[in-house]
Amino acid sequence: MKHTVWHHLNLCAQGDPEQTIRDAAIAVRDGQIAWLGASHALPEEYGTWPREDLAGAWVTPGLVDCHTHLVYGGQRADEFAQRLAGVSYEEIAKQGGGIVSTVRATRAAEEDTLFRQSAARLEPLLAEGVTAVEIKSGYGLDLASERKMLRVARRLGERYPVSVYTTFLGAHALPPEFAGRADDYIAEVCERMLPALADEGLVDAVDVFCERIGFSLAQSERVFEAAERHGLPVKMHAEQLSNSGGTALAARHRALSADHLEFLDEAGVAAMKASGTVAVLLPGAYYFIRETQLPPIDLLRRHGVPVAISTDSNPGTSPATSLLLMMNMATTLFRMTVPEVLQGVTTHAARALGQAARHGTLAVGRQADFAVWSVDTLAELAYWIGRPLCARVVRAGETVHTRRGA
Protein backbone atom coordinates (compact mmCIF):
# COMPACT_ATOMS: atom_id res chain seq x y z
CA MET A 1 0.00 0.00 0.00
CA LYS A 2 1.27 3.41 -0.88
CA HIS A 3 0.04 6.51 0.95
CA THR A 4 0.83 10.15 0.24
CA VAL A 5 -0.61 13.44 1.37
CA TRP A 6 -0.02 16.14 -1.23
CA HIS A 7 -0.22 19.44 0.58
CA HIS A 8 0.62 23.14 0.42
CA LEU A 9 -1.38 23.46 -2.79
CA ASN A 10 -4.33 25.42 -4.18
CA LEU A 11 -6.98 23.13 -5.51
CA CYS A 12 -9.27 23.50 -8.50
CA ALA A 13 -10.94 20.10 -8.27
CA GLN A 14 -13.85 20.65 -10.65
CA GLY A 15 -11.95 22.45 -13.38
CA ASP A 16 -13.95 25.53 -12.38
CA PRO A 17 -11.73 28.41 -11.24
CA GLU A 18 -14.71 29.88 -9.41
CA GLN A 19 -14.77 26.90 -7.04
CA THR A 20 -11.35 26.50 -5.52
CA ILE A 21 -9.82 25.66 -2.16
CA ARG A 22 -6.78 27.62 -1.00
CA ASP A 23 -4.18 25.78 1.06
CA ALA A 24 -5.62 22.38 0.29
CA ALA A 25 -4.44 18.78 0.63
CA ILE A 26 -5.06 15.58 -1.31
CA ALA A 27 -4.62 12.20 0.38
CA VAL A 28 -3.86 9.42 -2.10
CA ARG A 29 -3.96 5.73 -1.28
CA ASP A 30 -2.83 3.23 -3.92
CA GLY A 31 -3.35 5.68 -6.75
CA GLN A 32 -6.82 6.74 -5.63
CA ILE A 33 -8.00 9.87 -3.90
CA ALA A 34 -8.89 8.99 -0.30
CA TRP A 35 -9.63 12.53 0.81
CA LEU A 36 -9.32 16.12 -0.44
CA GLY A 37 -10.12 19.47 1.09
CA ALA A 38 -8.72 22.36 3.08
CA SER A 39 -5.48 21.43 4.87
CA HIS A 40 -6.79 22.53 8.24
CA ALA A 41 -9.63 20.00 7.88
CA LEU A 42 -7.37 17.04 7.07
CA PRO A 43 -8.65 14.16 9.23
CA GLU A 44 -6.23 12.82 11.78
CA GLU A 45 -5.92 9.41 10.18
CA TYR A 46 -3.95 10.99 7.29
CA GLY A 47 -1.69 12.94 9.64
CA THR A 48 1.00 10.24 9.72
CA TRP A 49 1.13 9.60 5.96
CA PRO A 50 4.26 10.63 4.04
CA ARG A 51 3.92 14.13 2.61
CA GLU A 52 4.72 15.87 -0.67
CA ASP A 53 4.97 19.66 -0.40
CA LEU A 54 3.78 21.45 -3.56
CA ALA A 55 4.99 24.86 -2.39
CA GLY A 56 1.75 26.73 -2.98
CA ALA A 57 1.27 25.58 -6.59
CA TRP A 58 -2.13 25.26 -8.26
CA VAL A 59 -3.50 21.77 -8.90
CA THR A 60 -6.15 20.94 -11.50
CA PRO A 61 -7.48 17.63 -12.76
CA GLY A 62 -5.26 16.11 -15.45
CA LEU A 63 -6.27 17.74 -18.72
CA VAL A 64 -8.33 15.86 -21.30
CA ASP A 65 -7.71 16.30 -25.04
CA CYS A 66 -10.96 14.90 -26.41
CA HIS A 67 -10.47 15.21 -30.20
CA THR A 68 -7.19 14.32 -31.87
CA HIS A 69 -5.91 12.66 -35.01
CA LEU A 70 -2.46 12.18 -33.46
CA VAL A 71 -1.59 9.00 -35.30
CA TYR A 72 -0.61 9.55 -38.94
CA GLY A 73 2.32 9.27 -41.31
CA GLY A 74 4.28 12.22 -42.69
CA GLN A 75 3.19 15.85 -42.56
CA ARG A 76 1.64 18.38 -44.96
CA ALA A 77 3.89 21.41 -44.83
CA ASP A 78 3.90 21.60 -48.66
CA GLU A 79 0.15 21.84 -48.73
CA PHE A 80 0.37 24.52 -46.07
CA ALA A 81 2.60 26.50 -48.43
CA GLN A 82 -0.01 26.06 -51.17
CA ARG A 83 -2.68 27.38 -48.86
CA LEU A 84 -0.49 30.35 -48.00
CA ALA A 85 -0.40 31.06 -51.73
CA GLY A 86 -4.20 31.25 -51.74
CA VAL A 87 -5.48 27.74 -52.50
CA SER A 88 -8.29 26.74 -50.11
CA TYR A 89 -8.44 23.63 -47.91
CA GLU A 90 -11.44 22.40 -49.87
CA GLU A 91 -9.77 22.97 -53.25
CA ILE A 92 -6.72 21.01 -52.13
CA ALA A 93 -8.96 18.15 -50.98
CA LYS A 94 -10.79 18.13 -54.32
CA GLN A 95 -7.48 17.93 -56.18
CA GLY A 96 -6.65 14.70 -54.38
CA GLY A 97 -4.50 16.29 -51.69
CA GLY A 98 -5.61 16.92 -48.14
CA ILE A 99 -6.68 13.94 -46.08
CA VAL A 100 -5.94 11.56 -48.96
CA SER A 101 -2.29 12.58 -49.09
CA THR A 102 -1.94 11.68 -45.41
CA VAL A 103 -3.69 8.40 -46.20
CA ARG A 104 -0.92 7.56 -48.67
CA ALA A 105 1.78 8.32 -46.09
CA THR A 106 -0.02 6.45 -43.31
CA ARG A 107 -0.60 3.35 -45.42
CA ALA A 108 3.06 3.30 -46.39
CA ALA A 109 4.38 3.66 -42.83
CA GLU A 110 5.49 0.64 -40.80
CA GLU A 111 3.63 0.32 -37.53
CA ASP A 112 6.74 1.10 -35.48
CA THR A 113 7.48 4.20 -37.54
CA LEU A 114 3.92 5.36 -37.06
CA PHE A 115 4.28 4.75 -33.34
CA ARG A 116 7.46 6.84 -33.14
CA GLN A 117 6.09 9.71 -35.21
CA SER A 118 2.89 9.77 -33.18
CA ALA A 119 4.69 9.50 -29.84
CA ALA A 120 6.63 12.64 -30.73
CA ARG A 121 3.32 14.50 -30.98
CA LEU A 122 1.89 12.95 -27.84
CA GLU A 123 4.86 13.79 -25.60
CA PRO A 124 4.39 17.57 -25.63
CA LEU A 125 0.73 17.13 -24.69
CA LEU A 126 1.68 14.97 -21.73
CA ALA A 127 4.26 17.52 -20.59
CA GLU A 128 1.38 20.00 -20.40
CA GLY A 129 -0.65 17.95 -17.96
CA VAL A 130 -2.80 15.87 -20.32
CA THR A 131 -3.71 12.54 -18.70
CA ALA A 132 -6.47 11.43 -21.08
CA VAL A 133 -6.53 11.72 -24.85
CA GLU A 134 -8.82 10.62 -27.63
CA ILE A 135 -7.16 9.36 -30.82
CA LYS A 136 -9.01 8.79 -34.08
CA SER A 137 -8.26 6.52 -36.98
CA GLY A 138 -9.23 7.78 -40.42
CA TYR A 139 -5.97 8.02 -42.35
CA GLY A 140 -5.91 4.31 -43.22
CA LEU A 141 -9.31 3.92 -44.89
CA ASP A 142 -8.81 0.21 -45.44
CA LEU A 143 -9.11 -2.49 -42.82
CA ALA A 144 -5.41 -3.23 -42.41
CA SER A 145 -4.35 0.43 -42.24
CA GLU A 146 -7.16 1.47 -39.90
CA ARG A 147 -6.19 -1.46 -37.67
CA LYS A 148 -2.57 -0.34 -37.75
CA MET A 149 -3.55 3.19 -36.63
CA LEU A 150 -5.78 1.97 -33.82
CA ARG A 151 -3.14 -0.47 -32.61
CA VAL A 152 -0.63 2.35 -32.47
CA ALA A 153 -3.13 4.41 -30.47
CA ARG A 154 -3.62 1.56 -28.01
CA ARG A 155 0.14 1.03 -27.72
CA LEU A 156 0.63 4.73 -26.94
CA GLY A 157 -1.77 4.25 -24.02
CA GLU A 158 0.25 1.27 -22.80
CA ARG A 159 3.64 2.87 -23.22
CA TYR A 160 2.81 6.37 -21.90
CA PRO A 161 1.12 7.51 -18.66
CA VAL A 162 -2.11 8.54 -20.34
CA SER A 163 -5.56 7.03 -20.84
CA VAL A 164 -6.14 6.66 -24.58
CA TYR A 165 -9.68 6.46 -25.97
CA THR A 166 -9.83 5.29 -29.57
CA THR A 167 -12.32 6.42 -32.17
CA PHE A 168 -12.90 4.66 -35.48
CA LEU A 169 -13.17 7.34 -38.17
CA GLY A 170 -13.33 5.08 -41.23
CA ALA A 171 -15.78 7.60 -42.73
CA HIS A 172 -13.21 10.41 -42.83
CA ALA A 173 -12.66 10.59 -46.61
CA LEU A 174 -13.28 8.50 -49.67
CA PRO A 175 -10.20 6.36 -50.41
CA PRO A 176 -9.07 6.64 -54.07
CA GLU A 177 -9.89 2.97 -54.82
CA PHE A 178 -13.56 3.77 -54.11
CA ALA A 179 -13.69 6.92 -56.26
CA GLY A 180 -17.27 7.50 -57.41
CA ARG A 181 -18.53 4.72 -55.11
CA ALA A 182 -19.03 6.40 -51.76
CA ASP A 183 -22.00 4.21 -50.86
CA ASP A 184 -19.94 1.10 -51.48
CA TYR A 185 -17.21 2.45 -49.25
CA ILE A 186 -19.75 3.14 -46.49
CA ALA A 187 -20.89 -0.47 -46.81
CA GLU A 188 -17.25 -1.54 -46.40
CA VAL A 189 -16.95 0.67 -43.30
CA CYS A 190 -20.18 -0.63 -41.76
CA GLU A 191 -20.11 -4.27 -42.74
CA ARG A 192 -16.44 -5.15 -42.76
CA MET A 193 -14.12 -2.65 -41.10
CA LEU A 194 -16.15 -1.67 -38.04
CA PRO A 195 -17.24 -5.22 -37.11
CA ALA A 196 -13.66 -6.52 -37.36
CA LEU A 197 -12.06 -3.66 -35.45
CA ALA A 198 -14.78 -3.62 -32.79
CA ASP A 199 -14.34 -7.38 -32.27
CA GLU A 200 -10.63 -6.84 -31.80
CA GLY A 201 -11.37 -4.37 -29.01
CA LEU A 202 -9.78 -1.50 -30.88
CA VAL A 203 -12.76 0.86 -30.94
CA ASP A 204 -14.22 2.93 -28.09
CA ALA A 205 -16.40 5.22 -30.25
CA VAL A 206 -17.27 5.92 -33.89
CA ASP A 207 -16.95 9.25 -35.72
CA VAL A 208 -17.99 10.49 -39.19
CA PHE A 209 -16.88 13.51 -41.22
CA CYS A 210 -20.28 14.81 -42.38
CA GLU A 211 -19.52 17.47 -45.00
CA ARG A 212 -19.61 18.29 -48.73
CA ILE A 213 -16.07 16.91 -48.98
CA GLY A 214 -16.84 14.13 -46.50
CA PHE A 215 -20.00 12.04 -46.25
CA SER A 216 -23.70 12.83 -46.63
CA LEU A 217 -26.35 12.74 -43.92
CA ALA A 218 -27.69 9.43 -45.20
CA GLN A 219 -24.20 7.91 -45.27
CA SER A 220 -23.43 9.25 -41.81
CA GLU A 221 -26.61 7.71 -40.48
CA ARG A 222 -25.65 4.30 -41.86
CA VAL A 223 -22.37 4.51 -39.95
CA PHE A 224 -24.18 5.52 -36.76
CA GLU A 225 -26.57 2.60 -37.10
CA ALA A 226 -23.65 0.24 -37.55
CA ALA A 227 -22.00 1.69 -34.42
CA GLU A 228 -25.21 1.14 -32.50
CA ARG A 229 -25.32 -2.49 -33.61
CA HIS A 230 -21.96 -2.86 -31.88
CA GLY A 231 -23.03 -0.94 -28.79
CA LEU A 232 -20.57 1.86 -29.53
CA PRO A 233 -21.22 5.57 -28.89
CA VAL A 234 -21.00 8.00 -31.79
CA LYS A 235 -19.70 11.50 -32.46
CA MET A 236 -19.43 13.67 -35.55
CA HIS A 237 -17.23 16.19 -37.37
CA ALA A 238 -20.15 18.50 -38.07
CA GLU A 239 -20.80 21.90 -39.65
CA GLN A 240 -17.08 22.58 -40.10
CA LEU A 241 -17.17 24.04 -43.62
CA SER A 242 -20.91 24.36 -44.20
CA ASN A 243 -24.22 23.78 -42.45
CA SER A 244 -25.27 20.31 -43.51
CA GLY A 245 -27.56 19.46 -40.60
CA GLY A 246 -25.21 16.80 -39.29
CA THR A 247 -25.53 17.97 -35.72
CA ALA A 248 -29.26 17.32 -35.59
CA LEU A 249 -28.62 13.81 -36.90
CA ALA A 250 -25.85 13.30 -34.35
CA ALA A 251 -28.19 14.48 -31.60
CA ARG A 252 -30.89 12.04 -32.74
CA HIS A 253 -28.33 9.31 -32.25
CA ARG A 254 -27.44 10.63 -28.78
CA ALA A 255 -23.92 11.47 -29.92
CA LEU A 256 -21.34 12.06 -27.21
CA SER A 257 -20.17 15.14 -29.07
CA ALA A 258 -20.49 17.17 -32.23
CA ASP A 259 -17.20 18.77 -33.15
CA HIS A 260 -16.02 21.93 -35.02
CA LEU A 261 -19.51 23.52 -35.44
CA GLU A 262 -18.54 26.87 -37.00
CA PHE A 263 -21.65 26.72 -39.21
CA LEU A 264 -24.04 25.38 -36.57
CA ASP A 265 -27.47 27.09 -36.36
CA GLU A 266 -29.85 27.51 -33.43
CA ALA A 267 -31.94 24.46 -34.30
CA GLY A 268 -28.78 22.37 -34.12
CA VAL A 269 -27.81 23.93 -30.79
CA ALA A 270 -31.25 23.15 -29.36
CA ALA A 271 -31.00 19.56 -30.60
CA MET A 272 -27.63 19.18 -28.87
CA LYS A 273 -29.06 20.50 -25.63
CA ALA A 274 -31.94 18.03 -25.78
CA SER A 275 -29.65 15.05 -26.37
CA GLY A 276 -26.90 16.04 -23.92
CA THR A 277 -24.36 16.20 -26.74
CA VAL A 278 -21.16 18.14 -25.94
CA ALA A 279 -19.98 20.84 -28.36
CA VAL A 280 -16.27 20.32 -29.03
CA LEU A 281 -14.72 23.52 -30.37
CA LEU A 282 -11.39 23.39 -32.12
CA PRO A 283 -9.73 26.80 -32.24
CA GLY A 284 -6.54 25.39 -33.77
CA ALA A 285 -8.41 24.31 -36.91
CA TYR A 286 -10.38 27.57 -37.01
CA TYR A 287 -7.11 29.49 -36.87
CA PHE A 288 -5.06 27.29 -39.17
CA ILE A 289 -7.51 27.25 -42.08
CA ARG A 290 -8.11 30.95 -41.45
CA GLU A 291 -11.81 30.41 -40.97
CA THR A 292 -13.79 33.59 -40.38
CA GLN A 293 -17.14 32.08 -39.38
CA LEU A 294 -17.13 31.85 -35.59
CA PRO A 295 -18.84 28.92 -33.87
CA PRO A 296 -22.12 30.07 -32.23
CA ILE A 297 -20.69 30.52 -28.73
CA ASP A 298 -23.52 32.72 -27.49
CA LEU A 299 -26.18 30.28 -28.64
CA LEU A 300 -24.33 27.40 -27.00
CA ARG A 301 -24.16 29.43 -23.79
CA ARG A 302 -27.78 30.48 -23.92
CA HIS A 303 -28.97 26.92 -24.44
CA GLY A 304 -26.60 25.60 -21.78
CA VAL A 305 -24.73 23.18 -24.05
CA PRO A 306 -21.45 22.06 -22.44
CA VAL A 307 -18.47 23.18 -24.52
CA ALA A 308 -15.15 21.35 -24.69
CA ILE A 309 -11.91 22.62 -26.25
CA SER A 310 -9.45 20.33 -27.97
CA THR A 311 -6.36 20.39 -30.19
CA ASP A 312 -7.80 18.45 -33.17
CA SER A 313 -4.12 17.62 -33.61
CA ASN A 314 -3.89 16.63 -37.30
CA PRO A 315 -1.61 17.31 -40.27
CA GLY A 316 -4.10 19.27 -42.40
CA THR A 317 -6.06 21.71 -40.31
CA SER A 318 -4.41 21.81 -36.88
CA PRO A 319 -0.80 20.68 -36.51
CA ALA A 320 -1.09 21.51 -32.83
CA THR A 321 0.59 19.78 -29.92
CA SER A 322 -0.40 22.22 -27.16
CA LEU A 323 -3.73 22.18 -25.37
CA LEU A 324 -2.75 25.30 -23.41
CA LEU A 325 -2.35 27.16 -26.68
CA MET A 326 -5.87 26.03 -27.64
CA MET A 327 -7.13 27.49 -24.35
CA ASN A 328 -5.47 30.75 -25.21
CA MET A 329 -6.96 30.72 -28.71
CA ALA A 330 -10.43 29.83 -27.42
CA THR A 331 -10.34 32.94 -25.26
CA THR A 332 -8.88 35.31 -27.86
CA LEU A 333 -10.52 33.96 -31.03
CA PHE A 334 -13.81 32.64 -29.63
CA ARG A 335 -14.05 35.12 -26.73
CA MET A 336 -14.65 32.35 -24.26
CA THR A 337 -14.03 33.05 -20.58
CA VAL A 338 -11.26 31.51 -18.48
CA PRO A 339 -13.74 29.33 -16.51
CA GLU A 340 -15.27 28.16 -19.78
CA VAL A 341 -11.98 27.12 -21.32
CA LEU A 342 -10.70 25.46 -18.17
CA GLN A 343 -13.86 23.38 -17.91
CA GLY A 344 -13.52 22.85 -21.65
CA VAL A 345 -10.31 20.88 -21.15
CA THR A 346 -11.40 19.08 -17.97
CA THR A 347 -15.01 18.23 -17.02
CA HIS A 348 -16.62 18.98 -20.37
CA ALA A 349 -13.89 17.26 -22.34
CA ALA A 350 -14.25 14.15 -20.17
CA ARG A 351 -17.97 14.22 -20.84
CA ALA A 352 -17.31 14.47 -24.58
CA LEU A 353 -15.55 11.11 -24.22
CA GLY A 354 -18.35 9.60 -22.18
CA GLN A 355 -15.77 9.39 -19.35
CA ALA A 356 -17.01 12.03 -16.93
CA ALA A 357 -16.97 9.46 -14.13
CA ARG A 358 -13.29 8.78 -14.68
CA HIS A 359 -11.61 11.99 -15.87
CA GLY A 360 -11.85 15.74 -15.66
CA THR A 361 -12.67 16.08 -11.95
CA LEU A 362 -10.81 15.32 -8.74
CA ALA A 363 -12.96 13.61 -6.14
CA VAL A 364 -12.76 10.92 -3.47
CA GLY A 365 -12.62 7.43 -4.96
CA ARG A 366 -11.23 8.54 -8.30
CA GLN A 367 -7.81 7.88 -9.71
CA ALA A 368 -5.39 10.62 -8.62
CA ASP A 369 -4.59 12.16 -12.01
CA PHE A 370 -3.63 15.77 -11.65
CA ALA A 371 -1.47 18.56 -13.04
CA VAL A 372 0.60 20.90 -10.88
CA TRP A 373 1.01 24.42 -12.26
CA SER A 374 3.61 27.11 -11.57
CA VAL A 375 1.16 29.99 -11.75
CA ASP A 376 -0.19 32.53 -9.30
CA THR A 377 -3.69 32.48 -10.77
CA LEU A 378 -5.52 29.96 -12.92
CA ALA A 379 -6.18 32.62 -15.56
CA GLU A 380 -2.50 32.30 -16.44
CA LEU A 381 -3.24 28.91 -18.00
CA ALA A 382 -5.08 30.72 -20.79
CA TYR A 383 -2.88 33.81 -20.73
CA TRP A 384 0.70 32.79 -21.44
CA ILE A 385 1.55 31.82 -24.98
CA GLY A 386 4.04 29.00 -25.35
CA ARG A 387 5.32 28.98 -21.80
CA PRO A 388 5.85 25.63 -20.06
CA LEU A 389 3.59 26.10 -17.04
CA CYS A 390 3.14 22.53 -15.95
CA ALA A 391 5.63 21.73 -13.19
CA ARG A 392 4.54 18.17 -12.59
CA VAL A 393 2.05 15.58 -13.78
CA VAL A 394 0.73 12.97 -11.37
CA ARG A 395 -1.06 9.89 -12.66
CA ALA A 396 -2.58 7.32 -10.33
CA GLY A 397 -0.71 9.01 -7.50
CA GLU A 398 2.73 8.73 -9.14
CA THR A 399 4.74 11.61 -10.54
CA VAL A 400 5.05 10.77 -14.24
CA HIS A 401 6.50 14.05 -15.44
CA THR A 402 8.51 16.82 -13.86
CA ARG A 403 9.44 19.94 -15.77
CA ARG A 404 13.18 20.51 -15.91
CA GLY A 405 14.12 22.92 -13.15
CA ALA A 406 10.75 22.61 -11.41
Calpha distance 352→287 (Å, rounded): 22
* Residue 98 binding: pick among Fe ion, ligand NIG, none (C-beta 5-8 Å cut-off by kind): ligand NIG
Give me the torsion for CA of 221, 223, 224, 227, rounded to 10°.
160
**CB closer to Fe ion out of 15 and 138:** 138
CA angle 109, 112, 113 (to 5 degrees): 45
Task: Work out which of 42, 63, 70, 99 binds ligand NIG, going by CB under 6 A.
Answer: 99
* Residue 367 binding: pick among ligand NIG, Fe ion, none (C-beta 5-8 Å cut-off by kind): none
Calpha distance 307→294 (Å, rounded): 14
- Position 226 contacts ligand NIG (CB under 6 A): no
Stretch that binds ligand NIG, among 15-23, 294-302, 310-318, 320-328 (CB under 6 A): 310-318
Stretch that binds ligand NIG, among 54-62, 308-316, 330-338, 371-379 (CB under 6 A): 308-316
Judge whether 317 is annotated as a binding position.
yes
**CB closer to ligand NIG out of 129 and 138:** 138
Judge whether 67 is annotated as a binding position.
yes
Phi (first) and psi of residue 175, to 5 degrees = -70, 150
Is 265 buried (19+), middle (13-18) or exposed (0-12) by CB count in 10 A? middle
What secondary structure does DSSP assign to 119-167, as a single string? HHHHHHHHTTTEEEEEEE--S--SHHHHHHHHHHHHHHHHHSSSEEEEE
**Site string (285-304) toward ligand NIG, x via CB under 6 A:** x-------------------
Phi (first) and psi of residue 223, to 5 degrees = -65, -40
- Position 240 contacts ligand NIG (CB under 6 A): yes
CA angle 123, 126, 131 (to 5 degrees): 140
- Count of residues binding ligand NIG (CB under 6 A)? 12
- Position 312 contacts Fe ion (CB under 5 A): yes
- Position 247 contacts ligand NIG (CB under 6 A): no
Stretch that binds ligand NIG, among 95-103, 177-185, 218-226, 373-381 (CB under 6 A): 95-103
What secondary structure does DSSP assign to 259-301, as a single string? EE-TT--HHHHHHHHHHTPEEEE-HHHHHHTT--S---HHHHH
**CB closer to ligand NIG out of 12 and 282:** 282
- Position 316 contacts ligand NIG (CB under 6 A): yes
- Position 102 contacts ligand NIG (CB under 6 A): yes
Residue from 14, 64, 93, 124 nearest 257 by CA = 64
Judge whether 69 is annotated as a binding position.
yes
- Position 168 contacts ligand NIG (CB under 6 A): no
Stretch that binds ligand NIG, among 220-228, 307-315, 334-342, 385-393 (CB under 6 A): 307-315
What's at 314, amino acid-wise? Answer: N
Task: Work out which of 15, 97, 98, 246 binds ligand NIG, going by CB under 6 A.
Answer: 98
Cβ neighbours of residue 252 closer than 8 Å, sequence gap 6 or more: 271, 275
Residue from 241, 223, 240, 235 nearest 183 by CA = 223
- Position 283 contacts ligand NIG (CB under 6 A): no
- Position 250 contacts ligand NIG (CB under 6 A): no
- Position 340 contacts Fe ion (CB under 5 A): no
Q: Which of residues 44-83 bind ligand NIG (CB under 6 A)?
A: none
Task: Work out which of 52, 142, 312, 340 binds ligand NIG, going by CB under 6 A.
Answer: 312
Query: Minimum distance from CB of 285 to ligand NIG (Å)?
Result: 5
- Position 209 contacts ligand NIG (CB under 6 A): yes
Calpha distance 352→41 (Å, rounded): 34
CA angle 189, 192, 145 (to 5 degrees): 70
Residue from 268, 187, 178, 182 nearest 222 by CA = 187
Sign of the CA dihedral with 143 first, then 146, 152, and 156 last: negative
Cα separation of the two ends of the chain: 28
Judge whether 361 is annotated as a binding position.
no
* Residue 284 binding: pick among Fe ion, ligand NIG, none (C-beta 5-8 Å cut-off by kind): none
Q: Which residues are annotated as a binding site?
A: 67, 69, 76, 139, 172, 237, 240, 312, 314, 316-317
Provide the binding-site residues for Fe ion, judged by CB under 5 A.
312
Provide the binding-site residues for ligand NIG, judged by CB under 6 A.
98-99, 102, 209, 237, 240, 285, 312, 314-317
Q: Which residues are annotated as a binding site for Fe(3+)?
A: 67, 69, 237, 312
